[in-house]
Amino acid sequence: MPKAAAPGDMIACPECDALLRAVPLGPTERARCPRCGSLLVSPRVRSFLQVVALAFTALILMMAAVFFPFLGIAAHGLSHESSVIEVALAFSDGWLAPLSVAVLAVIVGLPMLRFCAIIYVLWPLANGRPAWPKARAAFRLAEGLTPWSMAEIFIVGTAVALVKIGGLATISIGPAFWAFCGLVIVTTLKNAFMSRWSIWAALERS
């Protein structure tokens, strides 16, 4: 192990809650939990770049997921294809308007805000520059939004609905559905690469 850190510098394993003493690591070193082996601190600079790249990918996939046709439904010779944004706008002038705003915010707005905040925080750090102003506030915002980013739940809900409607109409899956699936995978990868501890540590230093 490299040199010891200050006594107050403790880090909790997110998997098994083991309380460990944090030590400063070089840019290419990684730290694993000695009890359960989960990754605590990943190699810093490369992981920041990976997270930025994944967040950009997620932003582009989100655009595709919102504007491309999501589902097509055909029954009795009639067919209709719509995108997520069309469905949301279809409800925008009735008493369901607040609901459609809330749904768009949770499925699209909050995840996009989170990706943008992460890019804002990590872009200068990944390039070895000092953090931009308000980077800590932006990262705290990104952390706070995590439980509210519900693209995954949306996909599961859609899959359940498809099984139910499947008997009544012919359903075709549009490119936006696959963009959403890609988004879920990219988001999971990004969360796996993102070491909160090393981002906070890098923000403290700059």
For the chain, report the end-to-end CA distance as a whole number of angstroms.
Answer: 24
| Contact residues for 72 (Cβ-Cβ < 8 A; gap 6+) | 79, 80, 81, 82, 171, 172, 173, 174
12 binds Zn ion (CB under 5 A): no
Alpha carbon of residue 86 to chain centroid:
23
36 contacts Zn ion (rule: CB under 5 A): yes
Q: Which residue has the tokens 């768009």?
A: 104
Q: Which of 2, 12, 29, 35 binds Zn ion (CB under 5 A)?
A: 35
> Does residue number 10 form part of the binding site for Zn ion (CB under 5 A)?
no
* Min dist. Cβ of residue 203 to Zn ion (A): 24
156 touching Zn ion, by CB under 5 A: no
Stretch that binds Zn ion, among 30-38, 55-63, 85-93, 144-152 (CB under 5 A): 30-38
11 binds Zn ion (CB under 5 A): no
- How many residues bind Zn ion (CB under 5 A)? The answer is 7
Question: What residue type is assigned to position 155 of the chain?
Answer: I
> How many H-runs (helices) and E-runs (strands) does the chain carry?
8, 7
- CB-wise, 36 or 96, nearer to Zn ion? 36
Radius of gyration of the chain measured on its C-alpha atoms: 21
Q: Which is nearer to Zn ion, 37 or 130 (CB)?
A: 37
